[in-house]
Structure 1
Amino acid sequence: MEKPVNQGWNAGLYDSKIGYVSRLGKGVVELLNPQPNERIIDLGCGTGDLTHVIAQLGASCIGIDESADMVGKARHKYPSISFEVMDGHEFRLDKPVDAVFSNAALHWMKQPERVIESVRLALHEGGRFVAEFGGKRNVGRIYEAIAKVLGDYGIDAEERNPWYFPSVSEYSGLLEAQGFEVRWMELYDRPTELDDGEGGLEHWLDAFAGMFFAGLAEEPKREAYARCSKLLERELYNGQHWIADYRRLRFSAVLGAGRMI
């Protein structure tokens, strides 16, 4: 099997063309309901916008991300907040925290049991795990177009697929297996308008699907993007904006709630 290609992150592109990720994540912050003086981890913090929002509400929030480029940008934007380069599969903390928060990051972590273990070890008893990420059949239409186009280049898209998009039953079962009580979980359709009008899909492919097109020179890569756009135009382009076929899994869980002592 071909070795999966890691996604490279461009923090500048992320901030300038993919700003809707943080904008739409503010509802997850509301579900978290951070309280003054709570200690909170923002897992997969990107360039730190939601870490900053949480800190503004009075919590002590630390952002962690596997991408050094993202963390560097976050430190530059928000120098008063701590940001660290850490892998969500294996991060460890010196002291337990009150909550772990995550927005649009867990679907990049393909070993969810290890991620949940890291979160469990980071929390004290009764601590909260609140997150949103891609759920079952997220960007299904876009993925189908990518797979069809890449097939003509002799590339198996599934062998390069970096995403983990679980169902409600699958992910709630993983949480419960490690001692979490799922208080609320929902899988819902969230058609998402991409920034930058006609160029929105190309920016999305650059930001989130680069690993699929690895090895293609710039000209054939742009040709492949154009072919993807052609396949998706009727369904996902409204004449002014691209509308990505997002489906999100949002949940709130508590560690050890209801255990008998």
Structure 2
Amino acid sequence: MIEDAAHALPAAARSPDGRWRSVGTTAEQTCFSFYANKTITTGEGGMLVTDDDGLASRARLMSLHGLSRDAWDRFRTAGSWDYKILAAGFKYNLTDIAAALGREQLKKAVTLAQARARIAARYSELLRDVVEVDVPKVRNDRQPSWHLYVIRLRLEALNIDRDRFIEELNAAGIGTSVHWRPLHMHPLYRERYGYRPEDFPVSTSEWERCISLPIFPSMTSAEIDRVAETVRAIATDHVRRMAV
């Protein structure tokens, strides 16, 4: 099994026996992304982890053209220049500079995640009573990474749609985004496979009401409060009035 944990480091879940299991420890292989907006970063790139020595060796081989030895092994003092192509590999290797950055970031992964968790908790505290907005719910047997903080608008309670809500946040100087557009709504899949929004009504409906609020470890209390207050104000200004 290959686990896609692109956004999840260092999330954890409690197993039935009560033990906490960190992401990356349950599957045969786990893949992480370290792009600039992830929970830790190398600028670009990622990491594969496994406890299978054979898989690890194969991954290293395939990551650099299928070469038997990388440049470091060939050109250091004790090395030899000789190399051979053993497989039809790729160019997926992380640069030394990016890897050095990643090693330092890994040391801070838990601290950065704790900062994100505090921000998420503050958002939820401030927005929990805004009836036009649903905040994320966290199970007591889960520790999310809080790569994103996604609110869901109750569109039936508002007289504007999600895109207009985002426009008003932007006008107030608050940058937001939407994560992620369902695959069946991308042109490639729509045109190649004939998918329609109504083919997947739940994901289509959820997509139409999601907004990702700003969240990053150095976010200040004043910044969090301002975002939440602006969300509340926009929701209040656009409450759908019931006809009488």
TM-score range with shorter-chain normalisation? under 0.3
TM-score, with structure 2 as normaliser: 0.26
Higher relative contact order (CA 8 A, sep 6+): 1
Report the structure, 1 or 2, having the larger strand content.
Answer: 1
Query: Which TM-score applies when normalising by structure 1?
Result: 0.25
Which entry has the higher C-alpha Rg, 1 or 2?
2
